[in-house]
Each structure stands twice: as structure tokens, then as C-alpha cells.
Chain A
């Protein structure tokens, strides 16, 4: 539904904290997009709208505390409001997983953050799991499985 091209998390200093690409870009294109978008988004004022046009597509961003969540969406068939909602879901999910998430949580547990993102945005950003419980449940079980996996190994 929301065909998201990519999702970036950028800190207020312009550092990339997370990047997930749902369409094919080469590494040069990736770094160009993340660099340019970081400057563009950071320059925007609080009163401005959260949608901007970039290259041939739209970019929807939202700021949570010191982090900017930036999504690239295709320009004509996407619902910008819904994208904002998706971002919000993601933040909510992380919030309850990490229990009051902050930037450091995401930095140090970036694999977990990716994992949650994988559960929120399934299948190349083309659909979303909307139930927070479902997201958390699957991440949690996966975690517990991982720990038991490790325990098995230690005990062996």
C-alpha cells in the first residue's frame, strides 16, 4: 500500500542511524540521497509541512526527539498521511520494545531496530503490520528463541 522506497533515521547532527532501502540504489546513489536529504530535512522549520519533493518522488519525514524519520515514497500513488502514520507506528513499537526509546537505544541495538522495522514494514515497504501487539510478540519470541539457542550452545 504505502510503497516506501527507503527509510532513513537521521540524527539532528545529520548522522545516519538507520537506513533501509526498499528499491535498488547503488551505493553512490544511496550516499547522495542520505546526504542531501539530511541537509534538506534538517533545514526545515517546525512550522513547515512534513512533505517535500525530492528528485522524482516525495519525501515524508517526522521528527521524534532528536531523530528524524525520513521516508521516500513514490509521488503519485501514496498517501502521505498514512506514511506519517506508519512512521508513528514504528516509533511506538520501538518505544514499547525498548521501554521509552531514545537515540542511544537505536544506536546500540540497531539490529533490533531493523528487526522491528522488518515486522512493521513487511515486504519491501509495500505493506504494514498495524497491530503493535503482533509486532512486539514476534520480535519478543524471536529474541527468546535466540537466547535459548545461545543457552543451548553454552550448556553443550
Chain B
């Protein structure tokens, strides 16, 4: 019998629900269900998808309890990787419930899943507005829930609407509300910076709140805001400074320190006042995190001047203590700080070499890898061998034991460490970097270095890292070019590497550079034919390597035939056949560059073979005279990175004016035809010469002078011919494409009248053009001289110094500044709608007259237009920030310079004399930057 008053089954279920009696699957059931599935992934998957479809039904139910339950489950399932953004609207419904229980769940789910959905955010805005209406006696906790949820969902319009309510909450009697309001204001300020400007004092007054948690929250918010834009808070520094004295809460102290870090980046005057206080704090405090933060503040706040040895020392002493501690975290962070201090001035850390070497053997790879970065600062010519040995050993050990390497920590038992490849790669490049530092100033013995290099080639072949191959190759090449006394040894090392098939396959870039070296310096190789055989039999080369190989082959051949005197004719024939078949195979290569070179060389060798057919007794003139004349016309010198580009950009080329007027040509032709008979013999010979020169000049488009040449070549007298040749050479010079070709140091050919330096644009010009021809030579001479002096002292091999032209136009090298990227990001900021962490504060200009906005404020929401205008202005003001960035960059470069000076004063002097004191130009830091990046790429230009 059912009574009329008896509750229905539905009603009973509903009433029981709050006691945790669910008839639907509760969260507990879900979790238990998941756990009972255990490791059986298939079953788990089935269970989860079943639950998920149940949830889909449950969220649609009109019963809010049921809906809430489903949302909780979905939030839980999100951790298993199930996207819940489809339920956003249901979440919104749950959020709008009047009951705290529901609200809590709703806001939780919302903060988990609302991040990227502009539609839902718009709807949420209204709800939040309603929930945040403040009338002085709201429910504290409901407020708390809403305020916590707010931070995820704040949008610019919402921020504008609610900031009034939030500010009135600051006057609440409950610290909890004040605290929450302040933290919510943080997000509001990010979206709507005008609020901060208009209520700055009201907000800042909370720094002196009686409740510590409110003060703490305020300091945190100011600290966060100052990260984005420190300018408006500089005026607070006296107050903050006071607080730093009076407060004894370490959390707040750390936050204040962070705040000062940000402030002193824009206000250098703070340093004088704050630095002593921080040092004092370091003395007094016992908390490591405070000490760490103090050092952090000193270093990042630009408070450590490059010549402030006392401060640096006291920081480093603390860090040394950290490094010696048992806590790996302390070791790690102190290594990172060490690096930052070293970046300010390397001489700060140069004494700590034993410490760094110890850190290299740390049990933790991440500490080791950080210590690697420090090596640059502490290596000198005495400890470099030891350091490299330690590093190479870490390699070798690993290779022997495979995957597990035994490593002995002083007092502990053995610990096995897996050395990841990324660390090995870092090791190789670090070794290369510390050795090549300052033009190889640290390398005590190049025999040793070559051995290291070839070892590195062997061990890094399995790393599968292209960049490493590139670096190793560049090193080998640099040694070859820069250290003349080592060329013999270097060549034998290189030949060893080239004949190692594994290396050739794994590190094609090394092979490429090796081939280039052999091609450039073949004189010390007596068995050129063997090398040629070796190279021609290499299969599966990449086009880049083939391209270099083709060139190297002909050079080796030329040197082999001509330097040894009596090479058996049959060997030559044999080798030529080999070469012909090699070039033939490549003459249909897909790579244009390879194809062109190979076709040209192929034709030449065919001619050689032909002339050998005719003459069995001795080598034809073509091989003995013509071939060598292609190459080695000029000494190959290392050139400063970027020089070529500079010269190229500053040339103005006259392509219009013909060499000869038409009348002149006609006259010449007539004159020639009369002499034709007599000269024809010689002419044909020379003609051939010409043709080959053209062949060699691969990138010469020269169709213009071909036209001229074809018509008149045969008829020209020897004298005329020389004129023409001269002109052609000049034209090659003036051809901008030609400059990029594999040609020798063109600086020597500089007398050319066709090259006009644009005097009117830059008054440096006349001076520099004379410098190039004369001074360059002078430089290399002086450098050699001083080097020799040093050689006597230190018994080091001579290292050539990169040559360069003086800084000609300042705008040439100044292009790749990070500015474009900046502007892109800022424009993104303004264009994208409110995703999380997007803020307008960075670009906000607080100096804008306040009146301006008060107007718009008076107009209320109608003031939208003005605000938009303001926004546009902020976007402009972001330029100012770029300036800041640049200041930092300049500083860093200055540091680098001081580093350079320290290590190689002598060289610096030379550089400066070579550059004609480039500091006068408005971008004085450029040559230094070039210099720093030059080491690894120097010889590229001299190719």
C-alpha cells in the first residue's frame, strides 16, 4: 500500500544523497572500480569508458546533486587523460548553484578545464560578477571559493567590472577576504592595468596591514607585478627597505629580495643602499634559502659590478659551502649561480678550479652538466689537460661498461650512473670550446690536441649528432689553417680519420672538412694516388661531401703529379681513368652544385687523358703547367667571421659602363685582324688556358664577357689579351655572386678601380680601403712577430689570428638583434584573446597622466573607446622595454670584452690595430661579438 504522503523512491534517493548514499556510481565507487581493475589495462579501459558514458548521461540530469557528482567524477577522470572540456557548460551550471557544496565542485572543475575556451569564459564572466557583488556582509567562504576560482577565469571586461568590488573588499574586517581579494587583484591588474594606476595608494597601503598574511600576499603580488613592469614600484623602495629590516618572516624576506631583484634592474641607484643590507642578511641568517635568494638577488639584480671582488668573494664563499654539502640540491643551485657570477667576470671564479673539477665528478649528471658550463671560466693552459682527461675518461668508461658505469664517490659505496647521450654531446662541445678559447691560448701542445680531436671523433661517432660532427670538422680545419707548424701532423691525423670507414659514415661533416683540408694542403702527401683511390671508392656520400670531394680530388691529383717529379705515366693514366669514372658517376647527380663541378672536372680529365694518349714519354703541359696554375695562387689565411659580408655590403658595383666603347672595340678588331696570322699559334694555346680558368670558376656567370671573348678572342694580340684578362678578372671581382665562391683571399686584389667605396656615405672609407691592402699584411706580420716572441717564452705553436677588415658600416652587422621577435610577441599579446597568463601589464605605461583615465572612468563603460586608445599607446610603449633589453645585451658584451682582455691582452692590442679602433663606430660592441663567434667559423670565409 502506498500512502499518499509516503515519499516516492526518487525522493528518498534524493534525500539520502547528502549522507553519501548514492544509487548512481559515486566517486568512491569509481575509484574502487579503477583500483579493482589493477594492472589489467584492457579491463580498466572498458571500465573507464563505461563510467565516462554514464557521466555523460548524469551531467544532463536536471538534478543538481547528480550533476555535481558527475562533474566530480569527470574531474577525477581528467587525471587519466580524458578531456573534459565538452562538459564545460554543465560545470557552469554546477557553479551557479547556491549551495557551497556544489559551488566548490563547480569552481574546482572550472579551474581545471576552463583555460582555453573563450565562449565559456564569457558566460562565466556574468556568473562571477554576480557571485562577487560585495555588500559588506557576504558569506566569507562563498567569497573565498569564488575568489580562488576567479584567478583562472579573469578577462579584461570582467576585470574592469569587478575591480571596484575587489577594492571595497580590501576594507573588509576579515583578513581572509582581504587576502583573497589581494590575490584576485593580481589577476585583475594583469588584465586591466588601469585599475592599479587609479588605486595605487589604496593597494599599496595593504603593505602595512596588521595581518601578516595580508602583508605577505601584498608583497607577493607586488613582486609578481614588478616582474612584468618594475617601474611603478620603484617609488616604494624606501618602504620596502624598512620592511626588510623589521620583518622576521623568512618567506616575506625572500619575496622582498625577489622584489628588490626586479627593482634594481631598472633603478641602479638602489644597489648602493640595498647591497650592504643583503650582505648583512647573508651573515646573520641561518636559512639556506634566504642565503641563496640573497646571492640570487645580488647577481640577477645587477648589483655585482665586474670589479667588485669583495662582494663576489663573499657570495662565492657561501656557494662553496653549498657545493661541499651533502645535499645535491644545494650543489646544483650553487653551480648554476657560480656560472652566473662567472659570466659577470670570469676572474671571479678562476680560482675555484679544484672545486669545479670535483663537481665534474659528481654523482648527479645534472650537476656535472652544469659544471661543464663553468669550465670555460676556470681552464688555463696548466689544468686543461687534466680536465680534458677527466671528461674523456667519463666517455671511455661508459663505452666499456655499456649503459652502467661505475663511479666512485669518496666515502660512499659505488653508484651506477647512466650517462645520457645529451651529456656526452655537451662534453664534446665543451672540450672543443675550452680548447679553442681565445684562439687556442689554453692549448699547451697541439700534438696533444690533435690526439684529443681524433679520439673525440672516434668516440662521438655513435652519438648521432650532426652538430658535433660539424664542430669537430671545424676544429680540425681551424687547426689546419691556423697552425702552420702542425700541418704535417694534422694531415696524417686527417688521413687516419678519412681511412676510418665508420667515422666517414657516422660523421659526414668531419669527412667533409677532412677532405677539404687534404685538398687544400696536399703537398705533404706523397701517395696521392692512394688517397684518390680511397676517396673515389667512398660510397653513399652526401651531396655536401661530394661537392668538397670533387674539388679535393683535382687538387690532390695536381699536387701528386707535379710535386714528386717522376710519377710513372701509367699510374697517372690509371688514376685519371679512376677519376673520370668517379666524376662520370656524379655528373648526373641531383645536387646542382655537385653536378656542375663534376661535369667541369670530367671534361678536363678527358682532355688530360687525350693528351696522354698522344704522348707516352712525359706528362703533358696541361698537367704540369696548366693544372697547378688553377690553384694556390694566394696564401690561405684565416679571416674573421663576417668579414666577407661586410665587404660585400659596402661595395658599390658599376655594372652599366662597358669596358670598351663600341668604337674602341671596332678599332681593336681591325687592328687584330691584321696581326691575326702571326699570333694564331700562341693564341690557341692561351685560349685553352682561358677556357679552363672558366671551368674552374664554377659560379662565374660570365656570359657577358663570353660574348665579347667569343667574338674577338682569336683576333687579339697578346697585349690586348692581357688587358682583357685583367678586365675579366676585375669583373669577376665585382660580381657579387663571385665573391661567395671558393676563391682565395680577395682582399689582396683590392686595387681594382671598379670597386667604389661609397665615400659619401661613410667617411671611414678612403682610410679603410687603403688599410685593406697594406694594413692587413702589416697585421699578419706583427701578429707573427708577437706570436714568435710568445713562442719563445711558452714553447707554443704559432696560431694565426683571424684577419678582418675594420668596421666599415655600422649597420651591416647590427641586424640580427632580437627586436623583431620581440615585436612579434608583443603584437601577439595584444591580438590574442585572454588565455591564461596573458597580460597587458608589461606594456603598460604608468607615466600616462592620470587625468586621462579619470575622464574615461567617469564615462564608465562608455569609456571603452578611450581605453582602446590607451591600449594602443601601451603597445607603443613596449618599445621602451626593448631598449631595456638591449642595455642588458650591451652589458654582457662588455663583460665578454673584459674577459678577453684578461686572457689575451696582447691579442687585443693586435685586434685593435687591425680594426682601426672600431669602437668609434656607433655600434662599438659589434667587432667584439664577431670576435667571440669567430672561432668556430673562421676558415669558412677563406674557403
Contact = CB atoms under 8 A, between A and B. Distances in A.
B81 A108 contact: no
Contacts of A25: 115
B372 interface: no
A91 interface: no
A118 B18 CA distance: 24
B688 to A, nearest CB: 61
Interface residues of A, number: 59
B367 interface: yes
Given A77-B300, A146-B100, 6 more contacts: A21-B112, A23-B836, A82-B254, A129-B216, A141-B140, A142-B141
Given A48-B364, A79-B296, A107-B31, A123 B289 contact: no
A63 to B, nearest CB: 13
A127 interface: yes
Contacts, number: 172
Interface of B: 15, 18-19, 27-28, 31, 72, 75-76, 78-81, 83, 85, 99-101, 104-105, 108, 111-112, 115-116, 140-141, 144-145, 148, 151-152, 176, 179-180, 183-184, 186-187, 212-213, 216-217, 220-221, 223-224, 227, 249, 251, 254-255, 258, 288-289, 292-293, 296, 300, 327-333, 363-367, 412, 415, 835-837
A58 B66 CA distance: 41
B108 A115 contact: yes
A124 to B, nearest CB: 5
Interface stretch (A11-19, A64-72, A92-100): A11-19
A138 B116 contact: no
B145 A142 contact: yes
A124 B149 CA distance: 10
B101 A146 contact: yes
Contacts of A126: 186, 220-221, 224
6 residue pairs, one from A and one from B, having the closest CB atoms: A49-B328, A127-B220, A150-B18, A81-B289, A123-B183, A49-B332
Contact of B329 (A49, A141, A153): A49
Interface in A1-54: 1, 3, 16-27, 31, 45, 47-53
A18 B836 contact: no
Nearest to B175: A134
Q: Is the interface of B mostly helix, strand, loop or mixed?
A: helix
15 contacts: A1-B220, A26-B116, A49-B327, A49-B367, A81-B288, A81-B329, A84-B329, A110-B79, A111-B72, A123-B151, A126-B224, A129-B179, A130-B249, A134-B176, A154-B19
A127 B183 CA distance: 8
A80 B76 contact: no
A92 to B, nearest CB: 14
B76 A150 contact: no
A59 to B, nearest CB: 11
A124 B152 contact: yes
Contacts of B255: 1
A48 B328 contact: yes
A62 B573 CA distance: 73
A49 B108 contact: no
Contact of A124 (B151, B212, B363): B151
A122 interface: yes
B83 A27 contact: yes
Contacts of A27: 81, 83, 85
Nearest to B80: A16
B213 to A, nearest CB: 6
Nearest to A16: B79
Contact of A24 (B31, B365, B835): B835
A54 to B, nearest CB: 11
Interface string A122-151: 111011111100100010011001100111
A22 B30 CA distance: 26
Contact of B108 (A3, A111, A149): A111
Contact of A108 (B28, B111, B144, B364): B28
Given A20-B112, A108-B31, A127-B220, A51 B296 contact: no
Contacts of A130: 213, 216, 249, 251
B99 A50 contact: no
Contacts of A141: 140-141
Given A51-B366, A82-B254, A138-B141, A122 B18 contact: no
Nearest to B14: A153
Contacts of B296: 79
Nearest to B289: A81
A3 to B, nearest CB: 7
Nearest to B328: A49
B823 to A, nearest CB: 21
A154 B13 CA distance: 11
A18 B78 CA distance: 10
Which of A50, A81, A130 has the largest count of B CB atoms less than 10 A from its CB? A81
A127 B217 contact: yes
A110 B101 CA distance: 15
